[in-house]
Amino acid sequence: MPACLLGLMLRNTVTIQRSKRLLLTTGLICEPLRDIPQRVNVMRMWMIDPKLLCRQHLLGEHGEIHKHLPSFRKRHSVSGRFSPVVQIQLNALKERHDELAQEMLRRGMNHKSPLANIPNLKETYPQYYDLNVDTHVSIRDLCQRCPKCRKRIENEKPCS
């Protein structure tokens, strides 16, 4: 195949990918393209007492809240974050951030990142806003996945 033709094909592919991304970010297509990873796809708010989170999960949950704020501002889709378990709690973003930050300070870590300019999530995501994380599920999942969290949790009560 002539190099110029290959180059043209590659350029076209890039263009297609770019326009797909553009459509996604503008919210014109969201649901049908299941093969394309959702942008809000790693965030999980555990919502349990922050003292029970290991360092990694404490910093993780805190960081995810900051990281995903721009997506919420851009009104990205959050569908898929509430089934089979509720993974984010939109009505508690600020409060949760602040209690995680408090715990970070208590453990001698730095925190200099107040959560600012939170969009009106109730208006953006009315159908999801009132859904709450089930902390029993969080405890169960953390006990299964993370020995360090498990240890902290079991100091309080047995995991199962």
Residue from 48, 86, 88, 149 touching Zn ion (CB under 5 A): that is 149
CA pair distance 58, 51, nearest whole angstrom: 9
Binding status of residue 143 toward Zn ion by CB under 5 A? no
What is the rounded distance in angstroms from the CA atom of residue 43 to the CA atom of residue 105?
Answer: 22
* Contact flag: residue 54 with Zn ion (CB under 5 A): yes
- Do 114 and 66 form a contact (C-beta atoms < 8 A)? no
Of 25, 41, 79, 113, the one binding Zn ion by CB under 5 A: 113
* 148 lies in the site for Zn ion, by CB under 5 A: yes
The binder of Zn ion chosen from 47, 50, 57, 64 (CB under 5 A):
57
The answer to the question of residue 102 lying near Zn ion (CB under 5 A) is: no
Among 16-24, 84-92, 119-127, 147-155, the segment contacting Zn ion (CB under 5 A): 147-155
Q: How far is the CB of 158 from Zn ion (least distance, A)?
A: 17
Q: Which is nearer to Zn ion, 30 or 54 (CB)?
A: 54
Max CA distance (Å), the chain? 68
- Is residue 159 at the binding interface for Zn ion, with CB under 5 A as the rule? no
Interacting residues toward Zn ion by CB under 5 A: 54, 57, 101, 113, 146, 148-149
